[in-house]
Amino acid sequence: ILNVEQSPQSLHVQEGDSTNFTCSFPSSNFYALHWYRWETAKSPEALFVMTLNGDEKKKGRISATLNTKEGYSYLYIKGSQPEDSATYLCAFTSGSRLTFGEGTQLTVNP
């Protein structure tokens, strides 16, 4: 049974704060780690996919790192804005299916 765990479950920050979330996943049979952002009433949006140990990806104020040996990934948001409010999901894959964590619900207060 694959277990993907995310922490924290929810997070409330003030506009301008920087924040980070954690995703832990099985380190065996690893193929890729995905981060998605899911706003209410919209489609989950692919943010990053990482495959190599030590990978770092960046998209604007959001960045992610990957450690496949110890089985964790961090997502960082610098200078949070209210429009960053969403649920952030990580997903592990060793083949075709994605196995998701429960997500981190981020609320950014203006």
Residues in contact with other proteins by CB under 8 A are 4, 6, 31-32, 34, 36, 41-46, 49, 51, 89, 91, 93, 96-103
Cα separation, 106 vs 110, in Å, equals 13
State the minimum distance, in angstroms, from the CB of residue 89 to other proteins: 6
State the minimum distance, in angstroms, from the CB of residue 52 to other proteins: 11
Residue number, 57 or 78, with CB nearest to other proteins: 57
Phi and psi at residue 26, to the nearest 5°: -65, 135
Residue number, 15 or 102, with CB nearest to other proteins: 102
Cα separation, 18 vs 108, in Å, equals 10
**Residue found by looking up tokens 């990934």 in the block:** 73
State the minimum distance, in angstroms, from the CB of residue 42 to other proteins: 6
Q: How many residues does the chain have?
A: 110
